[in-house]
Structure 1
Amino acid sequence: MRLPDTISGRLSEAELAANFADAHPPLTHAQAVVEAERCFFCYDAPCIEACPTSIDIPKFIRAIATDNMQGSARTILESNILGGACARVCPTEILCEQKCVHNTREEGQPIRIGALQRHATDWQMEHGGQPFKRNVLTGKTVAVVGAGPAGLACAHRLAMYGHDVVLFDSHDLAGGLNEYGVAAYKLADNFAQREIDFLMEIGGISFVGGKRLGQNLHISELRSDYDAVFLAVGQAGVRALGIDGEHVDGVMDAVRFIEDLRSQDKKTVPVGRRVVVIGGGNTAVDAAVQARRLGAEEVSLIYRRGYEHMSATPVEREWAQTNGVTVKIWASPVKIVADNGALQGVEFARGIVGSDGRPQYDLTDTFVVPADMVLKAVGQLFVPDDVQEESITISNGRILVDDQYRTSLPGVYAGGDCTPGEDLTVAAVRDGRDAAEAIHLMLSGLSGQ
């Protein structure tokens, strides 16, 4: 008897445990020391310039080479308190490791900076605990809205300065994308929550879940109740395909699919036999690979332009393909194909590069990819409705801030994916950290706001 096309429990618990285990096992200490000793410990190291949080990379690697694990971890964490997660999820191949001078040598193998960073931060979490202490308490309180990487980094730095922080989030758990939006095999073994527990050890930070701006949380009230407000609300919206049939059963947002995988028992998450993922970013890759690892028989990741235009890195694309995902390019979705409301597939138009350099699609030259599940991963959006009740300036779909992360409302700051800039976890951490520095100056009476 043929099973339904989209079901949960396609694989056994043992198979699921293996498929969603740590994708890249950590270095042993001996391996880490050998790798660290390859480093040239460059003066004016280009890898530091390539790191959004400006970690002193040669310094922390030298500390590993001399068996000073505590010093190594502290060097990382004083710049990036979420260094453990960033070591696992950041595209180091296009950041620090891309700038490593070893790339210019004959062997062309950069230092494995991400793996070494993970080794040091994991050691600290397992052996040393929270390395920072709070300053003298100031009596000031700050509301941080959004408990993702930007909000967590801001909260920790403010707590370190002696301020008290309340973290608000719409979810029941803190972590943001690290908890709900990253492939399970990248942050395996409940790492996101373990890192948050580590961060919270500093004290002075409390978390309140189930709070959403514009619904049961309002900026005007926060401004009245707290000495400062930091908005780190990320991008809660998702782009629509804008095609016929988009709302047919079986078509869903890839972000929701990934969240289900992170928040539910994996054997209860349904997946189709034939899954089509539409998009070309890391979210698309995460969704496609996880669908395959849930037991989908065929997974196709289809992008409207060429490989060079995909926001997913070459490493991520290769990861998808080695996990059995078929990647197709230059194909734009035209409509969802359904029969009496039952999903059948997706019709795509073939594309070419026009004379003006822009993609062009021939609607007379189409093809259908069969599917019983379609995951949309065509981008996320900041939802301005959450702040429109206040006179906060929005520009190009993001909250506009100055170089001190100040919004147009006095005492209200913002950072992370809801503000202009690159959508990277490490960049969000930098924003939260630097916004905390600006807020601290303001609370100390050393700035103009």
Structure 2
Amino acid sequence: MPDISAGRLGEADYGKNFSDVHPPLSAHEAVVESDRCYFCFDAPCTNACPTSIDIPLFIRKIGTGNVVGAAETIFSSNILGGMCARVCPTETLCEEACVRNLAEEKPVRIGLLQRHATDHYLDRHAAYGVRAPATGRKVAVVGAGPAGLACAHELALKGHQVTIFEARGKAGGLNEFGIAAYKATDGFAQREVDFVLGVGGIAVEAGKALGRDFTLAGLKADYDAVFLGLGLQAVNALGVEGEEIAGVVDAVRWIEELRQSPDKSAIEVGARVVVIGGGMTAVDAAVQAKKLGADEVTIAYRRGSAEMGASRYEQELAQVNGVRILHWVAPRTVVSEGNAVAAVDFERTALDAAGRLTGTGRSVRLLADQVMKAIGQTFVSGPVEAGETVALEGGRIAVDADMRTSLAGVWAGGDCVRGGEDLTVQAVDHGKRAALSIHAALSA
């Protein structure tokens, strides 16, 4: 029988295992770290940041004791700078570009410095920015994730009245529901939502979904502009025999359940867990399964380490936490015993002479009590294809450089648009860019 249960650990273990993965810097540590920055002209770290935060400037302000000013520099570019400091893959963005990132040195810890400044500011301020005089214009934002929140905040600063429609019961999107619990502890996601809304001029209507409770045509009729920050709503299927067996779960939904549970000991996890996929979701699910007390956790990925969506740092984090990563295997069958998961059969993969992934005919079986699917999410296009159609490209919404869709008066951004990297920081950039474009259109 499969061994899937809750409460595998002692009460103290849950608190320890789900504590902050990156403890914040002390004030002294932040000053010392800031002194390592060369304050480069045309800084490569700033160029590597999707929201173009002036990183040398905010670090210099920390070094001179102006921590509030440092945070204001960050928020002027990225209103969700606090969460981005926690979840951004800085090791492949700003810190990878740092000129100190050499074999004999480590890069400046930009992410932790950013967190130091933004946490300091949130502890002392309910909001950032002052609204311009009311313009009398109304904008609808669909989706209260990072893109929608960033768009709404920028529009509110410009004096427009914004209504956010969110399908879930509360705002936050991926930051609230989709990231590992140890990356954003103590309810930080909702605290940041309150901070964004604190600027004023933004109303949130939760539990309202596009296509179910309202239509795009209706929004266009009632509002001066519309922004779509819909995210990705569906999880890709494995497409293998046995996928429907009890014990096979969507990693995204499992992470959401864990994130929303006030009692981590109530979350069921298998003794032997196999996570199929190679991205950040796969790592988040695998590490948290281990932290919940699973005896064995394996990430199974069809290609090599270099091709994994999860960064090298995240892969190392998984391994440090006792997760095994098995490369070059593709699932073929979920094996059952008594209508429950018993194992997963994989085929060994390799690249052929043309560089294409192919099966080798050799197989490997992994015993499992629980299997988590983490092979990516997809955009559900139905709600934007009803009535006046928004053009799609590659299964997502097509937009131009200013985030305008094919439909006049409608903009989009975040994971739902074509060409995105599915990063919180890029979603924030999309939201702000769209807001500036909307403001220009409404001001013309």
Q: TM-score, normalised by structure 1?
A: 0.96
Q: CA deviation at 1:108?
A: 2.1
Distance, in Å, in 2 between the alignment partners of 1:15 and 1:55 is 38
Q: CA deviation at 1:325?
A: 0.5
| Contact 2:271-2:294 within 8 A present in 1 as well | yes
| Aligned-partner SS, 1:413 | strand
Partner of 1:29: 27
Partner of 2:428: 429
Distance, in Å, in 2 between the alignment partners of 1:168 and 1:107 is 50
Q: Pairwise mapping of residues 285-300 of structure 1 onto structure 2 (< 5 A)?
A: 285-300=283-298
| 2:190 pairs with 1:193 | yes
Partner of 1:42: 40
Partner of 1:372: 369
| Aligned-partner SS, 2:385 | coil
Partner of 2:439: 440
1:119 to 116, 120, 124: 116
Partner of 1:143: 140
Distance, in Å, in 1 between the alignment partners of 2:344 and 2:368 is 7
1:328 to 326, 329, 332: 326
Q: CA deviation at 1:14?
A: 2.0
Distance, in Å, in 2 between the alignment partners of 1:49 and 1:61 is 15
Cα deviation, 1:345-372, whole Å, max 9, x if unaligned, reads 1000011221111122123x21210111
**Identity of aligned pairs, percent?**
55
Q: What's the C-alpha RMSD, in Å, of the aligned pairs?
A: 1.1
Q: CA deviation at 1:236?
A: 0.8
Distance, in Å, in 2 between the alignment partners of 1:58 and 1:128 is 23
Which residue identity is paired with 1:442?
A: A
| Aligned-partner SS, 1:30 | helix
Q: CA deviation at 1:281?
A: 0.4
Q: CA deviation at 1:4?
A: 6.3
2:226 to 225, 229, 232: 229
Which residue identity is paired with 2:285?
A: A
Which residue identity is paired with 2:424?
A: T
Q: Pairwise mapping of residues 29-428 of structure 1 onto structure 2 (< 5 A)?
A: 29-104=27-102, 107-264=104-261, 265-363=263-361, 365-389=362-386, 390-420=388-418, 421-428=420-427
Cα deviation, 1:387-435, whole Å, max 9, x if unaligned, reads 1103110110110111221111111110111012211110000000110
| Contact 2:128-2:196 within 8 A present in 1 as well | no
| Aligned-partner SS, 1:128 | coil
Distance, in Å, in 2 between the alignment partners of 1:403 and 1:342 is 49
| Aligned-partner SS, 1:333 | strand
Distance, in Å, in 1 between the alignment partners of 2:296 and 2:214 is 43
Cα deviation, 1:40-85, whole Å, max 9, x if unaligned, reads 1011111110000000000000000000011100000000000000
Distance, in Å, in 2 between the alignment partners of 1:213 and 1:277 is 32
Q: More displaced, 9-18 or 308-317? A: 9-18
Distance, in Å, in 2 between the alignment partners of 1:218 and 1:8 is 41
Q: More displaced, 250-259 or 379-388? A: 379-388
| Contact 2:158-2:439 within 8 A present in 1 as well | yes
Q: CA deviation at 1:270?
A: 0.9
Which residue identity is paired with 2:156?
A: A
Q: CA deviation at 1:343?
A: 1.1
Distance, in Å, in 1 between the alignment partners of 2:70 and 2:389 is 44
Distance, in Å, in 2 between the alignment partners of 1:382 and 1:370 is 32
Partner of 2:5: 7
Q: More displaced, 95-104 or 10-19? A: 10-19
| Aligned-partner SS, 2:100 | helix
| Contact 2:2-2:369 within 8 A present in 1 as well | no
Distance, in Å, in 2 between the alignment partners of 1:96 and 1:38 is 15
| Contact 2:82-2:115 within 8 A present in 1 as well | yes
Q: CA deviation at 1:150?
A: 0.3
Distance, in Å, in 1 between the alignment partners of 2:11 and 2:417 is 41
Cα deviation, 1:270-303, whole Å, max 9, x if unaligned, reads 1111000000000000000001111111101010
Q: CA deviation at 1:382?
A: 0.9
| Contact 2:98-2:107 within 8 A present in 1 as well | yes
Which residue identity is paired with 1:165?
A: V
Which residue identity is paired with 2:430?
A: D
| Contact 2:2-2:342 within 8 A present in 1 as well | no
Specify every segment of 5 or more residues in structure 2 that has no aligned partner in the other structure, as ranges.
none
Q: TM-score, normalised by structure 2?
A: 0.98
Q: More displaced, 3-12 or 412-421? A: 3-12
Distance, in Å, in 2 between the alignment partners of 1:55 and 1:385 is 36
| Aligned-partner SS, 1:214 | coil
Q: CA deviation at 1:8?
A: 1.6
| Contact 1:70-1:128 within 8 A present in 2 as well | no
| Aligned-partner SS, 1:31 | helix
Distance, in Å, in 2 between the alignment partners of 1:139 and 1:315 is 47
TM superposition outliers: structure 1 runs of 4+ over 4 Å: none
